[in-house]
Structure 1
Amino acid sequence: MEHKQIYTVIGVGIGPFNLGLAALLEPVESITSLFLDQADGFDWHPGLMLDNATLQVPFMADLVTMADPASKYSFLNFLKETDRLYKFYIREDFYILRKEYNLYCQWASNKLPNCSFGKKVESIRYNEAEELYTIEVLDLKNNDVKRYYSEKIVLGTGTQPSLPAFMKDKNLPNVIHTSEYLHRKQDILNAGSVSIIGSGQSAAEIFQDLLPETKENLSMSWFTRPDRFFPMEYSKLTLELTSPEYVDHFYNMPSSQRQTLLGKQPPLYKGINFDLINDIFDTLYEMSVGNVPLNVQLRPSSQLDAVSPEGNSYVLNFTHVQDDLTFTHISDYIILATGYKYKEPQFLKGIESLIQRTEEGLFEVSRRYTIDVAESIFVQNAELHTHGFVTPDLGMGAYRNAIIINSIAGKEIYAVEKRIAFQQFTTQYDNRPKNIHS
């Protein structure tokens, strides 16, 4: 008879959020956990691992600190163990280099006994009689199939590169997503021209990275649909919108109101770092001294409608949003900085009957990040439509994980802040004078 090792929770996918959950669960003896990922090891956006790129959140937004500052899996402890703590101290910069954050996550994943890579989840089924999930997993190293059993699951498969609708079913070799950039950079440099499409941080980082190359033979154009290359809003009172009480406020809105509000909030999470915008301008200014002509175009208000091959190049069809006129552009290479979207994994078909959905077919995510009546299926970074723009924010990862852990445990394992903002986002607060002696 098969011996069943039953885990309290199994996580599928080991990105930063589930890795943080694994780290926070590791010292919790009452909860047994296992995290599975089909990749060989942790590697966060390797195609955009530019040398000088930083996270857009302070170093305290690591895997654990905002839930457990004393955790041995903190970024500061990583620096201490790798003999870089004083270097980081002297650097006097809250913002971690992206490549160092990646090394930190690799360090943590290698230390955590509950993280297992090279394991592809093929299917998940639920046994109602036993109240257990059966997860069928393919070991990519030896092609063995193994079954794991768990009381609860956490979906952390993350987001996938998103391409425009007109790219569906098209095979255009030199039209790539930003996630492929560094893997294809040498090919881009060998091309005569490149166009970047998008208005976010990734587009700006690639534009800045390629700018020096335009002094030689590379011609570069940057197109964006908004009317400007706008900065991410990062003022301190605006940052209070990443607070637990704002999440509560957003969650309790009607669905239609949430969607309307999200449509107005791109500058809060989709813009460009303010300093990077200034660096780009300064670089352009320096390159143009003496009125030297630049092999560069910046074209706001330009909506890309279609791409078609023409010889060894591509024709890009645009609509100028403000002029309401169409125009074309020819480029040898195209980089689509069109972001990422959540894509439901195929293995969910086996438990589809358990999943609650909105009228639009999206996950009906509870305030505690579950998507089923029994509150046994948790999601990470799949609740933008219910919890707001903080969903992909690394800084709120430990907060969400604390809620998930407390929910799994049925008691408080990690203290969770309820109010941290100076602002009041709802009318539901009691503003009557308090008796300080009561």
Structure 2
Amino acid sequence: MSTTKKYDIIGIGIGPFNLGLAALSEPVKELSTLFLDRSAAFDWHPGLMLDSATLQVPFMADLVTMADPSSKYSFLNFLKETDRLYKFYIRENFYILRKEYNVYCKWVAANLSNCLFSRGVELVEYIESEKHYRVQVINSLTGMEEIYYAAKIVLGTGTTPCFPDLAGGIPTKHVIHTSDYLSHRAEIVKSGSVALIGSGQSAAEIFQDLLPETENGLQMSWFSRPDRFFPMEYSKLTLELTSPEYVDYFYNMAAEKRKAILLKQPPLYKGISFDLINEIFDQLYEMSVDNKPLNVELRPCSQLDQISQDASGMNTLHFTQVQQQESFTHKAAFVVLATGYKYKTPAFIKGMESRIARTEDGLFDVKRNYSIGRGEEDIFVQNAELHTHGFVTPDLGMGAYRNASILNAIVKRQVYKVESKIAFQHFGV
């Protein structure tokens, strides 16, 4: 099937950020939009959809509210439409369950006519004579090629699991990333021993999830490179570093200065929630009553250097104790890598590469309004601007603000009010 319709915007990838853009663009009468994703349906981090896990941002950081509180696609309206508003009210908790956020996003996607799933984008190329982009797609439901055209492209293909660069590579058997955790959980429990690598929220959630299994014989060890299991800093004045003023301040710094600042900011976006750290300690305390030995160890200051496997598939993990600079090893049947995610440039952009502005080190040269076009503002990115806009880039709370900025830039008028000053602090001279 082919189409000759030209859209004002085609968004590629339907994660929370582009889904929010789809919802915010729908009521804009002068815009025609289309959003494409290769997945069969919206499903946000299914490998970590633990029953009790919550978002680390308040419910107002939904797809639309911070740009348009009156939107019918708000989380509160979702609750109203699905007869859960009073339950949520009585619960009295700003932090919604991750699985409920996923259900909410599925509800939004199902109610939008501009989102197409099962569409894998193969190539995007600029047609100079027509002054538009040609988007070549494979419909996985039919196996047929589809062609779409757009004046503007918004890249929302998201991040991919990040694996550490280890000597000898990473074994493929019984070594997984947290993104695949739930599909292997039963196997992990039966394996007898598991080593968990990482210092962030995902590592802590998996540790807590498996902790009851250690009373049934599972040996669990948690290794972290930092010198402690640190909480994400969440004080109110620190939260002002997510403000538009701070993004302006950060954006206008020299690239090397931005890199140096980011290296000092992991506690702002890579740590563990304070409550979860306390819950884990309390569980360990309760389990240790009467000085009962635990099948658990926690090892900070541990840098993973290598994983080797013997013929039976048992893993030997080779570490360096960072402060003592001494080597040690640990054996585990299963290894779970909670090593985060990173942006991966999609292969389909090769046909539009000449239109993309890049920095000296090859990263997208992202303008303040999230465009990366060379000369023209016709290509925009979601969650690919950590190096230019700062640590708040992957935060769900930034999504509506960024989408309002993108839509205002495309339409060239204020479709949605974008706050410029919200902080009590002054960040520059």
Rounded Cα–Cα distance in structure 2 between residues aligned with 1:168 and 1:80: 53
Q: Is the 8 A contact 1:18 1:156 kept in 2?
A: yes
What is the alpha-carbon distance in structure 1 between the residues aligned to residue 95 and residue 240 of structure 2?
19
**Could you say which residue in structure 2 is the equivalent of 1:404?**
406
Structure 2 residue aligned with 1:432: none
Please give the alpha-carbon distance, in whole angstroms, between the structure 1 residues aligned to 2:4 and 2:101: 37
1:61-100 equivalences in 2 (<5 Å):
61-100=61-100
Contact 1:301 1:320 in 2 (8 A): yes
* 8 Å contact kept, 1:44–1:102: yes
What SS does the aligned partner of 1:54 have?
coil
Deviation at 1:4, TM superposition (A): 2.1
- Superposed CA deviations along residues 305-342 of structure 1, whole A, max 9, x for unmatched, are 00010233100000000111000000000000000000
Match of 1:279, SS state, is helix
What is residue 255 of structure 1 aligned with on the other side? 255
Per the normalisation by structure 1, the TM-score is: 0.96
Cα displacement (A) at 1:171:
4.0
Corresponding residue for 2:230? 230
Map of 1:51 onto structure 2: 51
1: CA distance between counterparts of 2:359 and 2:62? 32
Matches within 5 A, 1:26-425: 26-166=26-166, 170-310=170-310, 311-372=312-373, 373-425=375-427
Give the conservation status (yes or no) of the 8 Å contact 1:172–1:309: no
- Runs of 4 or more above 6 Å deviation: none
TM-superposed CA distance for 1:170, in Å, is 4.2
Q: Which has the larger displacement, 171-180 or 262-271?
A: 171-180
CA distance in 2, matches of 1:312, 1:326: 22
Question: C-alpha distance in 2, partners of 1:120/1:172?
Answer: 26
Counterpart CA distance in 1 for 2:360 and 2:17 is: 27
Question: 1:68–1:414: 8 Å Cα contact kept in structure 2?
Answer: yes
List per-residue Cα deviations over 1:255-284 (Å, max 9, x = no partner). Answer: 000000000000000000000000000000
Quote how far apart the aligned CAs of 1:392 are: 0.3
**2:173 and 2:313 in contact (8 A); partners too:** no
**2:152/2:379 contact within 8 Å kept:** yes
The count of aligned residue pairs is 426
Whole-angstrom distance in 1 between the partners of 2:226 and 2:51: 28
| Distance in 2 between residues matched to 1:153 and 1:169, nearest whole Å | 36
- 1:134-179 per-residue CA deviation (whole Å, 9 max, x = no partner) reads 0000000011101100000000000000001127864421000000
Q: Give secondary structure in 1 for the equivalent of 2:57.
A: strand
Give the SS at the match of 2:285. helix
| Structure 1 residue runs without a partner (length 5+) | 428-438
Query: In structure 2, the residue corresponding to 1:57 is in which secondary structure?
Result: coil
In structure 2, what residue type is equivalent to 1:243?
Answer: S
The one-letter amino acid paired with 1:393 is D
Rounded Cα–Cα distance in structure 1 between residues aligned with 2:37 and 2:4: 21
Normalised to the residue count of structure 2, the TM-score between the two structures is: 0.98
1:217 positional shift? 1.3
Distance, in Å, in 1 between the alignment partners of 2:122 and 2:398 is 30
More displaced stretch, 126-135 vs 52-61: 126-135
Distance 1:80 1:167, change over 3 A: farther
The alpha carbon displacement at 1:219 in A equals 0.2
Inter-partner Cα distance in structure 1 for 2:239 and 2:173: 40
1:48 shift after superposition: 0.2
Q: What is the alpha-carbon distance in structure 1 between the residues aligned to residue 16 and residue 121 of structure 2?
A: 18
After superposition, what is the alpha-carbon deviation per residue over 1:229-259, rounded to whole angstroms, capped at 9, x for unaligned?
0000000000000000100000000000000
Aligned to 2:342, what secondary structure does the other structure show?
strand
Aligned-pair identity (%): 65
3-state DSSP class of the match of 1:110? helix
Cα distance in 2 for residues equivalent to 1:48 and 1:17: 19
Aligned letter for 2:25? L
- RMSD between superposed Cα atoms in Å: 1.0
